Amino acid sequence: MKVIYDPETDTLSIILKDAKIVESDEVREGVIVDYGADGKVVSIEILDASEHTSEPQGIVYELKKTAA
């Protein structure tokens, strides 16, 4: 998985897997979901990202622990 913020376009991309995009759908204004040939989500793009977060250039990654 890869997260990319482009300050020039103010776009935040969340790439879930490296696959060819065959279809894109704007699910909400400014939120685009890309799908692969198998119909599964490949990536999510958020336009005007700085309007949706206070710090678009910062990220916190958290891995939830599983119950033992």
Q: What is the pLDDT of residue 60?
A: 78
Average pLDDT over residues 22-46: 97
What's the CA angle centered on 35, arms 53 and 60, to 5 degrees? 30
Is 64 within the bounds of a domain? no
Residue 22 within any structural domain of the chain = yes
3-state helix, strand, coil in the chain (%, to 5): 5, 40, 55
Residue 35 clears pLDDT 90, i.e. is over it: yes
Quote the pLDDT of residue 68. Answer: 67
Domain total in the chain:
1
Instruction: Name the band, by pLDDT with cuts 50, 70 and 90, for residue 63.
Output: confident
As a whole number of angstroms, the distance between CA 22 and CA 43 comes to: 11
Three-class SS state of 51: helix
Q: Are 41 and 17 in contact (CB under 8 A)?
A: no
Q: Is residue 66 part of a domain?
A: no
With 90 as the cut, is the pLDDT of residue 53 above it?
A: no
CA distance 13 to 33: 10
Residue at 42 is within a domain: yes
Q: What is the mean pLDDT of residues 23-42?
A: 97
